[in-house]
Amino acid sequence: MSRTKEVKYTCPYCGREFDITVYESVNSEQDPDLRDSCLSGDLFRHSCPHCHTDFMVQYPLVYADPQHKFVLWLSASTGEEAALKTAAGPLLKQGYKLRRCATIKEFTEKIQIFEDGVSDIAVELAKYDSFIEFIDNRRGNPADVTSVEYQRVNDGVMKINVRTDDKGLSFLIPMDLLEEEIRAESDRFAINEEEFPLINSDWIISLFMESSGQA
């Protein structure tokens, strides 16, 4: 069941305090409208009743999708995971994927990835490879890249967009190549789902830095 609570919040623009309603948990099967609000980011949008400025507020949230068998924990830190880890074992036995997301952007993308039935490890590898190809082919400098985004998988091919301020470039990567690389280096890509692992760009970069002795 989805749960909410009231919290005091100080507007970052006018500095005045007011109450906001935040979600502690969302069940996408029971509350499909909330699923849509999570995916769009609207669940985190608030407006100050004093200066009427709109802004995003990130707060800890547990998102469960029983249909697609995954649980996401949105949290910028790992300080509140004890209760979730207690539930990890039973969830894993039921076939759930467990992940922590550090940002709202990671959270919304992870929902799309798992609803598509795609491995987020393969996605992060594809995003990393696309970024490296973008730089190596002199299409831009690393500092120019504003985002690297998962789009979709169609007919066994994953589409990744690399964006800069003034352009975007799409990369198409066969899923079988990604899966082959992950199988060939299974130790490198191994994760412990009981820990609600953080599988994102920092994670994939750290793997390749370790292998090159730069970590």
Does residue 108 share a domain with residue 13? Answer: yes
Number of domains forming the structure of the chain: 2
| Predicted structure pTM score | 0.91
Does residue 141 share a domain with residue 67? Answer: no
Beta carbons of 109 and 150 less than 8 angstroms apart? yes
Domain of 92?
3-115
Does residue 106 share a domain with residue 21? Answer: yes
Q: At 58, give phi and psi (nearest 5°).
A: -95, 135
Q: Quick one: which of 183, 182, 173 has its CA closest to 148?
A: 173
pLDDT digit of tens for each residue in the chain (215 aa)? 789 999 999 999 999 999 999 999 999 999 999 999 999 999 999 999 999 999 999 999 999 999 999 999 999 876 666 677 788 999 999 999 999 999 999 999 999 999 999 999 999 999 999 999 998 886 778 888 999 999 999 999 999 999 998 788 999 999 999 999 999 999 999 999 998 999 999 999 999 887 655 55
Does residue 95 share a domain with residue 147? Answer: no
d(CA 31, CA 43): 13
**Domain end point (choices 62, 90, 115):** 115
Q: Quick one: which of 57, 31, 34 has its CA closest to 44?
A: 57
Does residue 137 share a domain with residue 192? Answer: yes
Does residue 127 share a domain with residue 73? Answer: no
Does residue 191 share a domain with residue 94? Answer: no
Angle at 117 between CA 111 and CA 118, to 5 degrees: 85
Q: Quick one: which of 33, 38, 23 has its CA closest to 70?
A: 38
**Domain end point (choices 115, 149, 178):** 115
